[in-house]
Structure 1
Amino acid sequence: MDTIRDLVSKKAAVIFTKSSCCMCHSIKALFYELGASPAVHELDQEANGMEMEYALQRLGCTPSVPAVFIGGKFIGSAKDVISLHVHGSLKDKLIQASWNVRSKL
């Protein structure tokens, strides 16, 4: 869990994915289309990916991927991110988180 907390605190947006997951690919594409540069952690390619996946599940990430964090806070999975986007608040959250990260530097 400490690894997850450390990773999500370093960037405005962090996405935990698996390379074979089509929804993960879609969420990453959405973030890139919005101009975000999320940190992407492919759990199936990380040395401790299985441990991170279990930690995400313990944090309430169901399904475990994609797991999206913005501003260090768990936003949710694909359906949650898409809902935010449809309602127009995803981009605002990304902008606010980006400003917060910059102000810490």
Structure 2
Amino acid sequence: MALQGALRRAAALALGRRGGPGRFRMGNSLPASVGLSHDAAVNHIQDMISANCVVIFSKSTCPYCKMAKNLFESINVNYTAVELDMNTNGSQLQDILEQMTGGRTVPRVFVNGTFVGGATDTQRLHEEGKLLPLVHQCQEKRKS
């Protein structure tokens, strides 16, 4: 357990991440990372997902990624965006996300620790009234 925490801290330091999960706000993205081992990259992804209510693994020029980010902005929900095309380990992170989610396309949207899909899946959840309850459930969990 202590080793896993040490690996996550090392991955966060390697990525230049300082401060707590509240550091990343609506529309902000993570800095580029440098030379992560496979295990450190996996731990980083898992840490990001568990430390934030909404994480969008994205590419800066992708229209579907913009659609997903715009959806969360329109409902005033903070998210953390990881721009894979601006990250030196972006391809490695995308490979790991494919192993985790079964798909390589972006965006890969996680809400409350769970993969919810891409942009159209996330939009559908919102239209069905299921997205905000997932976000609120996460926010409530973090308050307690």
Indicate whether the TM-score tops 0.5.
Answer: yes
The match for 2:97 is 56
Greater fraction strand: 1
Residue 115 of structure 2 is aligned to residue 74 of structure 1: yes
Partner of 2:82, secondary structure, is: strand
- Using the size of structure 2 for normalisation, the TM-score is 0.67
- List aligned pairs for 1:26-105, cutoff 5 A: 26-103=67-144
Distance in 2 (alpha carbons) for counterparts of 1:38 and 1:98 = 12
Distance in 2 (alpha carbons) for counterparts of 1:32 and 1:76 = 18
Alignment deviations for residues 5-34 of structure 1 (CA, whole Å, 9 cap, x no partner): 111111111110000100100110100111
Distance in 2 (alpha carbons) for counterparts of 1:102 and 1:54 = 33
What is the total number of aligned residue pairs between the two structures?
103
Residue 51 of structure 2 is aligned to residue 10 of structure 1: yes
The match for 2:63 is 22
Partner of 2:123, secondary structure, is: helix
Higher relative contact order (CA 8 A, sep 6+): 1
Percent of aligned pairs sharing the same letter:
33
Partner of 2:51, secondary structure, is: coil
Distance in 2 (alpha carbons) for counterparts of 1:79 and 1:33 = 15
Partner of 2:76, secondary structure, is: coil
2:131 partner amino acid: L
Output the aligned Cα RMSD.
Answer: 1.2
Stretches of 4+ aligned residues off by more than 4 angstroms? none
Structure ID, larger Rg: 2
